[in-house]
Amino acid sequence: MALYLSPTADDAAVDAALAELKASLSRTATFEDNDMKRALKSCSRALDGLCNRRFWQDAEDQTRYYSPLKRIVLDIDDIFETPTRVSASNFVGTFDDVGGVDWTDLTDYTLVPDNAPLDGRPYERIQLRPYPFSSRFMPVWTQRSIRVIAKFGWPTAPDAIEEAMSILVPKFVMRTRQAPFGIVAVSIGTDNSAAMRIARSDPDVTWLLESAQLVRNVLVA
């Protein structure tokens, strides 16, 4: 079952998700179709927010900048493939002038966790290789000193997210249908926060999300 939708999902993808949802609920009537479509979109964004990550992937390379806190390891946004380019800035924060350095995968750095995509998980960190394999280090003295060019995000939503969608979307549709007239227009579909509240109150959804949530180690000064 593929119910999760990316923000850029086209009409065909939305219609396919709607058809799967209605089949799972044994629904054939069409009077709820618009509510269901809005619920599919809002619940998808709600699960992104609750998990602190997004379960869709960029269609083309995107450029993101990071400010390292450690000299060896850098937390990055989710990727499933080797980045097109990883660069460290020079002392004044410039990447392409003298002093800026491109890093090479498996020579200067590795992506961790090891074998993550084989386990259906993303790479979450860049870890520099130790000397004598590499003499690189993170320029912690400069903000936005690491540039990563890659396709970020998950190519497909994991099973836990799809299962959570199958529980959350019908509840959100029911909430919409039972809302008093005049409140419905405010709360349905586009109200991602309402979907997040419903998800937090459901023990099955919260249990499913535990395996998909992104948890970072926070440094306390």
Do 117 and 168 fall into the same domain? no
pLDDT the model gives residue 194: 82
Length of the chain: 221
Q: Is 187 a domain residue?
A: yes
pLDDT the model gives residue 216: 73
DSSP state of 33: H
pLDDT the model gives residue 98: 46
User: Is-contact 134 109, C-beta < 8 A?
Assistant: yes
Query: CA 75, 78, 80 angle in degrees (round to 5)?
Result: 125
Return the closest-CA partner of residue 72 out of 139, 2, 168, 155: 139
Sheet holding 109-112, edge to edge: 73-79, 123-128, 109-112
Instruction: Tell me the one-letter amino acid at 59.
Output: A
Q: Is 5 a domain residue?
A: no
Do 38 and 81 fall into the same domain? no
Do 48 and 96 fall into the same domain? no
CA distance 220 to 217: 10
Q: Is 216 a domain residue?
A: no
Residue that terminates a domain, selected from 110, 135, 150: 150
pLDDT the model gives residue 191: 66
Packed helices 11-25 and 33-51: angle between N→C axes, nearest 10 degrees:
100
Do 93 and 78 fall into the same domain? yes
User: Is-contact 140 68, C-beta < 8 A?
Assistant: yes
CA distance 190 to 39: 8
**Beta strand 109-112 with 73-79: parallel, antiparallel or unpaired?**
unpaired
List residues bridging with 127 in a β-sheet: 73, 110
Along the chain (221 residues), what's the average pLDDT of each consecutive run of 10 residues?
93 96 93 92 95 96 93 94 90 59 89 92 93 79 90 96 96 76 45 85 94 71 33
pLDDT the model gives residue 168: 95
Residue that terminates a domain, selected from 150, 176, 191: 150
Do 108 and 72 fall into the same domain? yes
Q: Is 219 a domain residue?
A: no
Residue that terminates a domain, selected from 127, 150, 173: 150
Q: Is 26 a domain residue?
A: yes
Q: Is 177 a domain residue?
A: yes
Q: Distance between alpha carbon 150 and the CA centroid of its chain, in Å? A: 14
Do 22 and 84 fall into the same domain? no
pLDDT the model gives residue 93: 60
SS3 125: strand
Show the domain range for 97. 62-150
Indicate the number of domains in the chain.
2
